[in-house]
Amino acid sequence: MNLLKKKNFNFLILLFFVISCASDDGEKVTIEMIEKDLYDQAQSRLKAKNYAAAILSLETLEKQFPFGKYAEQAQSELIFAYYKSSSFEAAISAADRFISLHPRHPNTPYAFYLKGLAKFTDDQTFFGNLPFLGDMTYKRDLSKAKESFDDLSEFLTRYPESEYAGNARQRMIFLRNLIAKQEIYIAEYYIERKAYVAAINRANYIIQHMSKTPEVLKALEISIIAYNELGKEDLAQEAEEVLKAYKEKI
């Protein structure tokens, strides 16, 4: 047993012993002291960026005192501690639980934000190496990126004035561009396979939902090619006119 686990084990033994032996008159005071000691320990560990140890303290606090003075705060800080320790799935689960239990809590907006952030960084190797991967990134599975985009969008819809709104918007711009690139990559693949209807569907998705991305020009070009191949010259002409209008704005 390592030193950290041994200390926490000893603390739990002491906690059980004190609660079991406390007199009726002093039991409430003793329990409140232990609860505060646990909370203070968690704060100290968070401040020292010892997130693994902070998680142990916060989890113990929540389990031993589920209706205590610091229970809600512990649940909120667990989301942050999980996120900082790269336990992203745990952070997402903790955020969902907090949002469900405390929909009107002052920390609920932060829970929404961290949930989106956890999905954004769930594939840490992937996002951490973006500058080195270049255009290969959009060829990977972006399901988590899309979930993150949706969660951050919900966060901004609910809390547009949040102090974290600016950061969320910047991350959404990055994610939107990345997702649009992947849609173009797939649409071009369909063009090569002569699956023109499927290519049009991908292109239209970008045109309708991601019109602020640079990829919208490629999407229109793909639409023109696909419509011409399908013999739909009128729709190809409409796409050419939209493309011309876009280029004039640039």
- Cβ–Cβ < 8 Å for 226, 196: yes
pLDDT above 90: residue 57 = yes
What's the distance, CA 57 to chain centroid? Answer: 24
Among 249, 175, 248, 189, which Cα is nearest to 222's? 189
d(CA 196, CA 226): 5
How many residues does this entry show for the chain?
250
Q: What is the pLDDT of residue 47?
A: 96
| Residue ranges per structural domain of the chain | 1-85
pLDDT for the residue 7 = 54
Cα separation of 77 and 54, whole Å? Answer: 9
Return d(Cα 235, Cα 141) in angstroms, integer: 32
Q: Does 197 have pLDDT greater than 80? A: yes
pLDDT band at 130 (very low <50, low <70, confident <90, very high): very low
DSSP 3-state of 132: helix
Identify the burial level of 162 via C-beta atoms within 10 angstroms of its C-beta, where 0-12 means exposed, 13-18 middle and 19 or more buried: middle
Mean pLDDT across the stretch 112-120? 91
For the CA atoms of 86, 91, 92, 96, the dihedral, rounded to the nearest 10 degrees, stands at 180
The pLDDT assigned to 15 comes to 55
Contact 240, 223 (CB under 8 A): no
Residue 146's pLDDT is 87
Whose CA is closest to 224, among 213, 234, 214, 210?
Answer: 234
pLDDT band (50, 70, 90) for residue 2: low
- The pLDDT value recorded for residue 246 is 87
Query: Is pLDDT above 70 for 187?
Result: yes
Residue 6 has a pLDDT of 52
Higher pLDDT, 83 or 121: 83
Cα dihedral sign, 58-60-63-69: negative
- Which whole number is the average pLDDT over 53-79? 94
